[in-house]
Amino acid sequence: MKNLPTNYIFALLVLFSTFFPTITAANGKENAMTADNNEKIIRAFVSSWSELDVDKLVSYFSEDGTYYNMPTQPIKGHENLKRFIAGFIRNWSSTNWEIINLIAKDDVVMVERIDRTIVNGKEINLPCFGIFEMKEGKIIEWRDYFDLATYTNALEK
């Protein structure tokens, strides 16, 4: 830039500063639209659990999506997810997941919820916190946190 005339450099700076807010605003709008879309997808996913339809639940994940049900090992890929979720819900007669708080920013959605489930005839109200990482409208990683003792103690009553 040393060899460019000062007025040329000034013109470039003015031009750049004129367009920079537009670029930032456009990116901000795009990120807000992505966050809104991801929020809708995750709300639908949470609601879909009440159907206990394994294929439908797995369809929300990318082909190589991963589910970290934190007390267990991570599960990756559609076939593994189908087996895991089918086994997990095998003894459930119903479930309804209540969203307490949901925050979406770009490709991350965080959901605080209470999973109200009937397992082997026993009612379990399990507070959970899930973090979803999204890509192109699919879950690429879901990390779910809860107190396993709350779940197991309710089963033993």
Active site residues: 115, 144
HEC profile of 84-136 = HHHHHHCCEEEEEEEEEEEEEECCEEEEEEEEEEEECCEEEEEEEEEEEEEEC
Between CA 120 and CA 93 the distance in angstroms is: 7
Query: Torsion angle, CA of 48/59/64/130, rounded to 10 degrees?
Result: -10
Judge contact between 142 and 75, C-beta under 8 A: no
Name the token pair of 81.
């997810």
